[in-house]
Structure 1
Amino acid sequence: MTRASLDKQPRDVASMFDGVAEKYDVTNTVLSLGQDRFWRKAVARAVDARPGERILDLAAGTGTSSLPFRDAGATVVPCDFSLGMLRAGKRRHPELPFTAGDGMRLPFADGVFDAVTISFGLRNINEPKTGLAELLRVTRPGGRLVVCEFSHPTWRPFRTVYDEYLMRALPPIATRVSSNPDAYVYLAESIRDWPDQPALAALVQDAGWERVAWRDLTGGIVALHRGFKPLAG
């Protein structure tokens, strides 16, 4: 599977990420020009994990995104549907409880997490609204959601340059640094086709989250969406 226009079947997407697992973190740093580190810090601040809390890090890949929550004293569960990513992560961070799971059918009971987060993975769920509803289900009442996802630059001239980078520059760079360049063709197309910030906020709200808001990072290349599970109902 290499085209965002194809159905995002979990088996296909998982297989694609299996193929890039070993070099995934390095490739992301190269392709984002080092911005991925800044984005992870922004997610950590938004989640605001506290000692004793339980945090679900969905689409955690090799677990790099989970480390700030562990370091804050929370119990973090890195979850992903790519077994290749999970194996690579377990070798690097054997102390973390890596868990295999499909974002549309999470293997957790209702209301067990204080906060749930997903970074750059909501696009890869076949039905994002279903994924957001599943995240709501496993969150305690009053708990919080943080979604970090590629979005749409807000300044039109910059958006044009960014689109050119995605479709022209990113695939050749990926060919040099990635073990599966086709995966990054899919990445570029899925970013281009993803809803903008207000549309994603509406999707989060429709899934049942309240007090939904967002803020842009790096000129809107990435957006952080936040929400809270209602205390009742």
Structure 2
Amino acid sequence: MTRASLDKQPNEVAAMFDKVAARYDITNDVLSLGQARLWRREVARAVDARPGERVLDLAAGTGTSSVPFATAGAYTVPCDFSLGMLREGKKREPWMPFTAGDATRLPFADEAFDAVTISFGLRNVHDTDTALREMLRVTKSGGRVVICEFSHPTWEPFRKVYTEYLMRALPPVAEAVSSNPDAYVYLAESIRAWPDQPGLARRLQDAGWEKVAWRDLTGGIVALHRGFAP
């Protein structure tokens, strides 16, 4: 399996990410024109991890997104359902407690974390609403969720240019730099099919999160959503 279908069967998505694990981070930097690093910094600010807190980083992949939380002093658990990604991460950061897990059936106790975050992974979960409820289950009362995900550019002319880039420019660029370019065709298609900013906010609220808000990054290419557990 080289490319997941948009019905997002877990075994297909996991297999796809297994194949791109080795060059995943560098490919993302190239395809995002360097913006991926800026987005990670904004996620770290939004999560605001503190010493003594427990942070769950879902779809953590190789752990690149998890390092800032651990550096801030929080006990950080990088969790992913791609074993290939976890193995690559463990080679790079052997001190981190990489954990295999499905976002729709998290292997953690109720209210185990002060904060839960997921960057560019919720879009690939086969049941988004179940995953949002699971995140709430493992978050302490008053704790927070931060979701960083591709979204819809807010300026119409730019949105058209961006869509053209996704479907026409991204695949050939991915072929030049990725170990599995077909995976990035799927990623482009999944971005186009994903809800806009208000749509994701409503799904967070329906799952039980409170004080839901979002902030656009890079003109709405990416949005940061945050909510709090009751």
- Shorter-chain TM-score category? over 0.9
Q: Secondary structure at the match of 1:133?
A: helix
Match of 2:119 in 1: 119
| 1:59 lines up with 2:40 in the alignment | no
Alignment of 1:57-136 (within 5 A): 57-136=57-136
- The answer (yes or no) to whether the contact 1:3–1:189 under 8 Å persists in 2 is no
In structure 2, the residue matched to 1:221 is 221
Percentage of identical aligned residues: 76
CA distance in 2: counterparts of 1:162 and 1:209, whole angstroms = 31
Does the CA-based 8 Å contact 2:4-2:13 persist in structure 1?
Answer: no
How far is the alpha carbon of 1:4 from its aligned partner?
A: 4.6
| Structure 1 CA distance for aligned equivalents of residues 103 and 49 of structure 2 | 21
Contact 2:21 2:84 in 1 (8 A): yes
The CA distance in 2 between the partners of 1:130 and 1:124, in whole Å, is 13
Deviation at 1:3, TM superposition (A): 5.6
Q: Secondary structure at the match of 1:50?
A: coil
Please give the per-residue CA displacement for 1:110-142, whole angstroms capped at 9, x wherever unaligned. Answer: 001000000000011001010010000000000
Segments of 5+ residues of structure 1 without an aligned counterpart are: none
Report the counterpart of residue 140 of structure 1 in structure 2.
140
Q: CA RMSD in A?
A: 0.7
1:48 corresponds to 2:38: no
Instruction: Give the SS at the match of 1:130.
Output: helix
Match of 2:24 in 1: 24
Q: Which amino acid aligns with 2:167?
A: M
Relative to structure 1, the CA distance from residue 60 to residue 3 in structure 2 (aligned partners, 3 Å threshold; closer, same or farther) is: closer
Equivalent AA in structure 2 for residue 144 of structure 1: R
Answer yes or no: is the 8 Å Cα contact 2:18–2:85 preserved in 1.
yes
Whole-Å Cα distance in 1 between the matches of residues 128 and 4 of structure 2? 17
Q: Which amino acid aligns with 2:35?
A: Q
CA distance in 1, matches of 2:115, 2:4: 32
What secondary structure is seen at the aligned counterpart in 2 of 1:22? helix
Question: Residue 97 of structure 1 aligns to which amino acid in structure 2?
Answer: P
Amino acid at match of 1:202: R
**Per-residue CA distance 1:183-218 (angstroms, 9 max, x = gap):** 000000000000000000000110110000000000
CA distance in 2, matches of 1:78, 1:11: 19
Amino acid at match of 2:189: E
Task: For residue 143 of structure 2, give the secondary structure of its aligned residue in structure 1.
Answer: strand
- Give the length in aligned residue pairs: 229
Q: Which amino acid aligns with 1:52?
A: G
The answer to whether the aligner puts 1:207 opposite 2:210 as a matched pair is no
Q: Is contact 2:4–2:12 with CA below 8 Å preserved after alignment?
A: no
Cα distance change, pair 83–3 in 1 and its aligned pair in 2 (3 A): closer
Superposition deviation, residue 157 in structure 1: 0.3
Q: CA deviation digits over 1:25-83, x for unaligned, max 9? A: 00000000000000000000000000000000000000000000011000000000000
2:39 counterpart residue number: 39
Structure 2: runs of 5+ lacking an equivalent? none
For residue 116 of structure 1, what is the amino acid of its counterpart?
V
Q: 1:3 to 1:78 in 2, by over 3 A?
A: closer
